Structure 1
Amino acid sequence: MLPNHLQLPPPRLLGRGLVLLVAAAALVTSVTFYVLDGSFVLTRLVSTDWKMHTDFETFWQSARALLEGRDIYETSAAVVNLNPPFASLVLAPLGWLDFWPAYRAFTLLCVALVVASMATVAGELRVRPAAAIMVTTAVLVSSPVLATLGLGQIYPLLMAGLTVAWVLGRRGHAVWAGAALGVVVALKPSLAPVLLLPLARRQWAVLTAAIGTGGLAALAGWFTAGWQSLPNWVLLVFDHPVQAYVDNASLVGTAQRLTTQSPGVDPLVELPGGAVIGLLLGLALVAVTTWTVRRPPAAGPDTGLWAMAGASLLASPLSWHNYLLLLMPGVLVLIVRGRWPIAALLLALSSIGMEWQWVWGAPAPAVAMSLYCGVLLAYWAALLQRPAARVDAEVVALPPAPGLPGQRTHVGV
C-alpha cells in the first residue's frame, strides 16, 4: 500500500479535475480568438448594415406581408422563411415599425426573455444570487446568444416557453404547462418530440393541453395568413436541402458533413445517404431519451424537458448552434444538483465562437467542423443524466423559507 502522500486522488476528484481542465481550455480558446481577431458575432450584433441581421429581416418582411394581406413566403427577404404561419402572426407587431426600430425593440425583448428565463429558474430553485448572476452573465456573452441577437432569431421566445412549461409543471399546473409546450411546438414544429415526455409519463392533461393549444395556434396562424400559407410553408420545408454548414449542429447535418463533399470541408469518408444515417441516429437518440426520462427523478429537480429538447435538436435536419440557448436554463439545475464542474464545462464550450471554423483553413477537416454537434451532445448527455438520491446543493441553493415545502410537486415538465 502506498504512503498517503503518494496515493492517487479518488476517481471522482480526478474526473472533476479533468472536466475543469477541458473547461479552462475551451475558455482560453475563446479568449484567444477574441484577442487575436475580435468576435464575429459581436460585430454582427452592433452592425448598422441590415444585411447582417438576415433572420430578422426575413421575419420583418413576413410580418409586413401579413399585415398587408400578402403572401408571407413571397417577400424580398434575402433568406427564405422556414417558420410556420403562426410565427408570423406572433411577430406581426414588428411590421408596424420600420426596420431599425423593429430590430432594436426585438433585440431588447430577446435580451429580457433570456434574463427572465434564467432568473425564473434560479428563483424556482432558490439559487444563490451570486451563482445565478455568474451563470446568467456567461449565458449572455455566449456565442449562441450573441449570434441569436445579431441575426434576430426567435429562439429566446422558445427558451421562455420551455422555461414557463417547466416551472408550471413543477408547481402542478398541468394544463397551463401543456399550453406553454403547445405554443413552443407551434412556433417551432421541429421541437415536437418534447411532447413525448408527457406521453411517456402518462400525463394526459399536459399532453392534451399541448396538442390542443398547439393545434389552435397553428390554425390561427393559417387562418390569418391565408389558406395558401400552410401548403406553401410545407413545400418550402421539404424543398430545403439538408445543410452541411459548420453551424448546423444536428446529427443529420453532421452526418451529411462527415460523408459528403461540401464547400470548404474535407469529409471524413464519402458515403451515400449520410443525412439518412444521421436521421436514424437522431430518432434512436429520441427513443433512448424518452425511455430514460419516462419517470420523474426520485430526488432533485427534473431536467427531463430540457433533455427532450436537446434530443429534438439533435434529430432535426437543421439545428443551428444558436439553438443551444434553449437548453441553458438547465445548467442551473445541474449546479443545484452539485454538478458544477459539468456546468462550467458546458458554459465554457458555449463561449467558442464562429472563429473556430477559420482556424483550420480550407479545406477544413469535417470532424473539426462538427464541434457544435459535440457541444450539443454534451448538453444533452448532461441534462439526460438522472440525479443521485441525495442532491448536494447547499453551496449554491438557499434553504426553503419557513413554512414553505422544500420539494415541489412534479407533473413531468
Structure 2
Amino acid sequence: MTRTVPTIRRLFGAGDLTAAQVVRLVMWPLAVITALDMVFDKALRGSVTDDFKPVYAAVRAFLEQQPVYTAELSSVDPHYLYPPGGTLLLAPLGLLGESAGRTMFLLLNAAAAVLAVYLLLRMFGYTQRSVLAPICYFALFASEALINTLTFGNINGLIFLAEVVFLALVLARRDIPAGLVLGLTIAIKPILAPLLLIPAVRKQWSTVVVAGVVPVAATAIAWPFSVDPDTYFVHNLPYSLSVRDYFNSSISGFGAYYDIAPTVTLMVRALVAAMVAVSLWLLYRYCRHDELFFVVTMTGVLLTGEFALSSLGQQYYSLFLFPFLLAVVQKRSVLRNWPAWLAIFGFATYDKWLLFRWPAFGRDLEYSRAPFGWTLLLIVVFCVLGDRYLSARRENRLALGIDPLRLAPDFPTPDRRPITVPADKPSATQAEARPGETHSTESTSAPTSA
C-alpha cells in the first residue's frame, strides 16, 4: 500500500513535470487508441476499394498454374499490376484462405509501418522516451496514407519499412544489404526505384548493381513457373505507364480528369521537373556533407517528384515521404515554414473536403488536394534551397556552403547518436571535400539527454 499511493500520486497529481513529460502523457494514449481504432475497426472492416482481392486472386492463379494477367483493364476496379517476380515473392499469401490471408496481410503492414517509424526515430537519434515518438505514431495512424493502405489491403506498409531499412543501410554504408532490400521492393512494386540515385551520387555502386539485379533475377526465376509472364510486358506494363483519368493524383492524371490541354499539362510538368532538378543539384553540390539531411531530403524530393510527374500518383503513396517530413526536427530542414505544412496538410490528412452545400466545389477541392500538396511541397523546397544559395552567393560564402549564418537548433535534441557513417570510416563525400569547405560535426557529436 505504501508503494501504491506514491505511484497514484505521480500518475494523477500535479507533480513536478517537465514540458516533455506532459507531451508524452498526452500523446501516448492518443497514439495507442488511434492505432487500435485504425487497425481493428477501419482496417478489418475494409473499404469498397479492395486492393488485396486482385493480389490474392493472382497468387492463387500462380500457385494453381493458371493465367495471372487476365484482368479487364478498362474497368475502374483495382487491377493486379505486379510483375512476375513480385507474384513469386507474394505467392505464400495464396497458401491461406482469402479472409485469413487479408487479415494477416493488413496486420503485417500495420506492424511494418510501426517498426519503420521506430527505426526512423533511431535513425534521427531519438528513442521511444522522446516526445517525438508518440507524436510520430499518432501522425502515422491518423494519416490518409496509412489509413487507406490498411483499409484497401495494400502492401505500402511493408514497402515503407523496406524504404527506411534501405536508407539506414545506405547511411551506414552497408552497400550490398541496401541493394538487396531496395531490389526486393522494385521486384514487387517499383515505386522506390528513383531512390537508386542516392547510392549512385554517393558512389555506392554495389548498391545500385544489386538493386538492379534482384528484380531481374526474381523475374527470371518466376518465368518458368508462370503460365503467362509475357502478358505482363505486353498487356499490364503498358497500362501501368499510361495516364488514366481516375484515382490518379499526378499532374497528368489531374489534367486528364479536368480535360486540360495536353500542352498546358506538359508545360506544368516541365516546370516542376526543372525545379526538382535544380533542388537535387543544390542538395548534391552544397548539402551532402550532412549525410542524414542530404539522404532524407533527397528522398523526399525524388519521391514527391515521382508522384507529381509520373503517369500515376495516388495519395497514399505519401506514406513514403515520412522520412522527409521527420527531417523538420533538423536545423537545416527545408520544412520549417508554413507553406510546407500547408502542402503536407493537403496530401497527408484523412479529411474529406466534399462540401455538403457546395458539392461541385467540394469535389474539386478533394480531387486537387494531393496534386496541389505535392506540387507546392516541391516549390517550397526549390524556393528555400534557391534562397539559401542566392544569399550565400551574394555574401561571398559559397565555399562554406549555403546554410544560413544563423540556424535554429535541432528540436528536440536527439537523445542518442543518429545513424551515420562510422567515425573511423570517412564517407566518399568527406574525402572529396572542396578546399575551404567546412563540415558539420553535429550529427556525430556526443548526444545530449532529451
Which range, TM-score by smaller chain?
0.7 to 0.9
User: Alignment partner for residue 374 of structure 2, among 373, 376, 390?
Assistant: 376
Tell me if the contact between 2:112 and 2:161 (Cα under 8 Å) persists in the aligned partners: yes
Tell me if the contact between 2:354 and 2:365 (Cα under 8 Å) persists in the aligned partners: no
User: Alignment partner for residue 59 of structure 2, among 44, 63, 69?
Assistant: 63
Question: Taking structure 1 as reference, are residues 281 and 40 closer, same or farther at Cα in structure 2, changes over 3 Å only?
Answer: farther
Supply the AA of the counterpart residue of 2:179.
Answer: G
The Cα RMSD (Å) is: 3.7
Does residue 1:208 correspond to 2:205, yes or no? no
**1:78-119 deviation line (CA, Å, top 9, x unaligned):** 532122222222221211111211111111100111111111
Question: Taking structure 1 as reference, are residues 67 and 116 closer, same or farther at Cα in structure 2, changes over 3 Å only?
Answer: same
Question: Taking structure 1 as reference, are residues 253 and 408 closer, same or farther at Cα in structure 2, changes over 3 Å only?
Answer: farther
Does residue 1:242 correspond to 2:276, yes or no? no
Tell me if the contact between 2:343 and 2:374 (Cα under 8 Å) persists in the aligned partners: no
Does residue 1:294 correspond to 2:284, yes or no? yes
Q: Distance in 2 between matches of 1:275 and 1:69?
A: 43
Does residue 1:336 correspond to 2:333, yes or no? no
Answer with 1 or 2: which has the greater Rg: 2
* Seq. identity, %: 22
Question: Taking structure 1 as reference, are residues 230 and 155 closer, same or farther at Cα in structure 2, changes over 3 Å only?
Answer: farther
**1:288-345 deviation line (CA, Å, top 9, x unaligned):** 4543443552236232233222222222211110110011132222223475755866
Name the stretch that deviates more: 351-360 or 161-170: 351-360
Question: Taking structure 1 as reference, are residues 254 and 408 closer, same or farther at Cα in structure 2, changes over 3 Å only?
Answer: farther
Q: Distance in 2 between matches of 1:321 and 1:42?
A: 22
Tell me if the contact between 2:249 and 2:370 (Cα under 8 Å) persists in the aligned partners: yes
Q: Distance in 1 between matches of 2:346 and 2:365?
A: 16
Structure 2 length as normaliser, TM-score? Answer: 0.68
Q: Displacement, 1:363?
A: 6.9
Name the stretch that deviates more: 168-177 or 330-339: 330-339
Structure 1 length as normaliser, TM-score? Answer: 0.73
Q: Distance in 2 between matches of 1:383 and 1:178?
A: 28
Tell me if the contact between 1:336 and 1:397 (Cα under 8 Å) persists in the aligned partners: no
User: Alignment partner for residue 409 of structure 2, among 376, 392, 398?
Assistant: 392
Q: Distance in 1 between matches of 2:86 and 2:279?
A: 28
Q: Distance in 2 between matches of 1:410 and 1:333?
A: 21
Supply the AA of the counterpart residue of 1:369.
Answer: Y
Tell me if the contact between 1:285 and 1:311 (Cα under 8 Å) persists in the aligned partners: no
Question: Taking structure 1 as reference, are residues 155 and 256 closer, same or farther at Cα in structure 2, changes over 3 Å only?
Answer: same
Q: Distance in 2 between matches of 1:379 and 1:234?
A: 35
Q: Report what 1:256 is aligned to.
A: 256
Q: Displacement, 1:125?
A: 1.6
Query: How many pairs does the alignment contain?
Result: 358
Supply the AA of the counterpart residue of 1:217.
Answer: A
Name the stretch that deviates more: 280-289 or 161-170: 280-289
Tell me if the contact between 1:194 and 1:312 (Cα under 8 Å) persists in the aligned partners: no
Larger relative contact order (CA 8 Å, sep ≥ 6): 1
Q: Distance in 2 between matches of 1:55 and 1:125?
A: 33
**1:122-172 deviation line (CA, Å, top 9, x unaligned):** 012222532122112111111111011011111112211211110001111
Q: Distance in 2 between matches of 1:365 and 1:53?
A: 18
Q: Report what 1:85 is aligned to.
A: 84
Tell me if the contact between 1:180 and 1:210 (Cα under 8 Å) persists in the aligned partners: yes
User: Alignment partner for residue 306 of structure 1, among 300, 324, 336?
Assistant: 300
User: Which consecutive residues of structure 1, in runs of 5 or more, have no partner in the other structure?
Assistant: 1-38, 261-269
Q: Displacement, 1:181?
A: 2.0
Supply the AA of the counterpart residue of 1:74.
Answer: T
Q: Displacement, 1:372?
A: 0.7
Pairing 1:126-275 to 2, within 5 Å after superposition:
126-128=125-127, 129-226=130-227, 228-239=228-239, 242-245=243-246, 247-258=247-258, 260=259, 270-272=260-262
Supply the AA of the counterpart residue of 1:231.
Answer: T
Q: Distance in 2 between matches of 1:42 and 1:203?
A: 42
Structure 1 runs of 4+ aligned residues shifted over 6 Å read 39-43, 382-387, 404-409
Q: Displacement, 1:223?
A: 4.1
Pairing 1:267-286 to 2, within 5 Å after superposition:
270-272=260-262, 276=266, 280=270, 283-284=273-274
